[in-house]
Structure 1
Amino acid sequence: MIFFLLFFTILLEDGIAFCCLKTPTVAFTAMLSNDTTLGPRAILKYDHVVTNLGGAYQPTTGIFTAPYDGLYSISCTLMSSPSNHVHLKMMKNGQRISIVFSNSKTYPQASQTLHLILNKGDRIWMQNHNEQNAIVYDWRVYNVFSGILIKDLLVHYSPHNFKRNQIFKKNRFQIKMIIVLLLFTIFLEDGIACCCLKTPVVAFTSMLSKDTTIGPGAVLKYDHVVTNWGGAYQPTTGIFTAPYDGLYSMSCSLMSFQSNYVYLAVMKNGQRVSTVFSNSKTYPQAAQTLHLILNKGDRIWMQNHINQNAKMHDGKAYNVFSGILIEDM
């Protein structure tokens, strides 16, 4: 009987570390238990906690604190009271990342999903963006703040180790071979085989840096890149190209300019998958999330769906295009 089991292997190459240990479980979902009034620039405290695995979200403060270096997916859904409009900004360590907007009178529900690389101790929260009170409408159903750790990362993605990341890219094949030899372990016992290789990290989040007009059938190029782990999104073309066969989660939030309505099509290799719609006049913010099985080389982008110009309202806040590899296949 052959019995060989390798629990973990770490390869250090110019400060780059790889590990096959399982990603820790960190996830939270919190809501508002009733209508809530926020003061100017105040943090929104989601007091009804549905899930809090890892205990990283604090309902008394409304703040999520990253317990590990890693790739996180953070989502927010907002519904304002009919008496007022609400701008909620997503904050990271005191800096604004994006804004969710819900207008008055019609109970519009807005949402966003961002994939963010966070270091241990980084803090994320939702905050009133305006210098006036904001009333948020709810009773444990409409307003949601949630997040999940997708991958813990032993490599810090920052300008300080950019050169080392480039070294890894240039020697990708050689390092992959070493990783395969060290990490690929077969446990053969009564015909059962196991492998400890992890799903590659692929994730991006991008926005529009300013009001943007595109022509009929044109691709929307999200030029402000927040996250681009794996380099699969190209801001010069607006296109995400799948680097692996796998299951991907793709999200888009849209805000039209008040002078026009906008239909944006989610496109896959030239074929429409779905459409996101934002009407004129009231700045409604629409959103969609799709889970798609993609082959290596498949391309995803957002495109003007109608035969007229489309103008989006933004300034690194409202319009978001993001995606993440959930599992390679």
Structure 2
Amino acid sequence: QSESIELGRPLTNKHIKRYCIIDDLKEIHVKISDRRCDCQCSNRETTPAFTSVLTNAQSVSRNVAITFDRVVVNIKDGYDTTTGIFTSPNKGVYNFSSTVMNAQGQTLWGTETVLDLFPEYKIVQRRIDALENDNKALKVEIDALENDNKALKVEIAQIKDKQIRPAFFSTLSKSAVLSNSNKVLIFDGVKVNRGGGYNPSTGIFTAKRDGLYHFSCVIYGDNGKDVGYQLNKNDSLYVRGYSNTGPHEASSISVLVELKKGDRVYIKHRHLGSDRGSYWK
């Protein structure tokens, strides 16, 4: 049968009698400790153990230890009834349990500071905390170094790109039939393509960086045919060229072009007309 005991009210004789089982436990403990019993446990007298109860209700305040003042068992005298603190006499793993009851609807918070009994654990824990902080600092430093490394790689790539002067030389692998005024002449026979700016699949050169570029082109009209062509910068006409009628007539253009990164230059076919004299250089 259970009965509530209010905090702040001392235990009566009635209550003590109802908890006489504690005395029975003490008697059993004495019997077990007797060397004449059949139990042959080698560490029964050396293992620290204690059991203590509260004989009078206590009014407790924050961060104050509750003193269980009536000792039932206290092997190795680890428990102090005046302070309510157990001090471990031996190094090892301990099991603790407690039962606390409050009264009059008040809230009672309890904290177990078992690890406070092991100062060596605190030392190790402080070392672990310090190592974790060092590890965090190292991670921050590693992240900063990785960012610096990425920035250096970009800078090195830019330096290498500046050291490589773009240049290309390409020819027609076979004669081209020009029937479309918008057809780009694709010089597919690449001999040199330093920097990879020229695309032999499209016939277009794309500037990899800003600069002043020089382009030259030679066009020969087969069988004495007139050939009109032009050099474009992006989608705009830059200069025209013309291969005159004759058995072995050829035409060439040579130009300087200011380009920004991403600008495109290419040769395209054009119909001949009255504008032969414009854009000639």
Instruction: Check whether TM > 0.5.
Output: no
In terms of fraction of residues, the more strand-rich structure is 1
Please identify the structure whose Cα radius of gyration is greater: 2
Q: How high is the TM-score relative to the length of structure 1?
A: 0.34
In terms of fraction of residues, the more helix-rich structure is 2
Higher relative contact order at CA 8 Å, sep ≥6: structure 1 or structure 2?
Answer: 1
